[in-house]
Structure 1
């Protein structure tokens, strides 16, 4: 009996060691693969929309418009709003005008001229009364209004508009022509035409149909349109 005990003890000791080894050896932790550091994207700066740039001035019997290169209207002014508003608005695009008093004449009340190169805005002292008496009248005696070209709006007189310097034959849409006459002060033969005519509401005090348009003065000796003006009425003095 005594010879078997050491063998039994040896077996138990080996079993205990094996058990301890099993307890002390845990599962192998997973291997973490190295990854590239996260990169933060730079914030996107919005690209500002460019401000529209004035490219031309167009007008009709009802309004003066500043247009961009695509023909979109940037600003519009009429002939019955306060003249100071119109001058301020045009100055934003054309620069400051040259102002001078206008003494008027037999058929014209006195007032002030606001001039941007070939564009003259005549502010009469007589208050306006829509839709027949404007606060101001526009005269165009050249192809430029300050730094911008000026012409009638598309469709007024021609598909592309009419400008000072164009031949009278360029007026092909809605043209009303008066017989030529000789200007007594210059001796020149002039033809008065009206284009872009707009019918006004009936006036109870007058049965005559009333309208306004753009007046064009062309001369035989030069063969071109030398002046455009608006609004031009078919009534009054």
Structure 2
């Protein structure tokens, strides 16, 4: 078998490791150099660090004899998922979408979009620990006094740091760290910056989402969550079962 995987996510790495152990050939495509460092030593796996558009994906599929393509990209990378799905369909290639089973908790306040979170924060006072990553930093500049109120926690990548600075976030309010973070470390950060709000994206418990919520409960601050869109697909566990049944 020869499987093409998209996703520098935990799911992408775990799938690549699983297939590698079964001696199944894998081509893993990830978007960033940062994510590449976690999958360099996989056997039977070719790791490609690049961003492909739909046409480039079609060319990739046409020039390789893949048995299937697996979309293990981040739940919020909607355009990338759409491109993979459409390119696979164009090439009549079997497509699997790996979905995360979100950790459910009644404590947070859930929002449908970033703009709703910004609107909510503009009716409040107090510091904000923003943990949604660098992609939506531009949208959060809509928060009044964002350069003073918002402390951003982003990956230790040069382009992410540069983006935050160019958007006007205060240097002293930028935290560059690799997670996942424990409940204790989240709570320590919240207390150190005197945060009244933590903003995050809905995710699986394995992604550190549960620890963020528990830290908010522990420190008695509001947890604001951007909801993960519902989508069709299969879990990591189900895909493993499919592969085991086909070999």
Q: TM-score range by the shorter chain?
A: under 0.3
Q: Which has the higher contact order (CA 8 A, sep 6+)?
A: 2
Normalising to structure 2: TM-score of the pair? Answer: 0.21
Normalising to structure 1: TM-score of the pair? Answer: 0.22
Larger radius of gyration: 1
Higher strand content, 1 or 2: 1
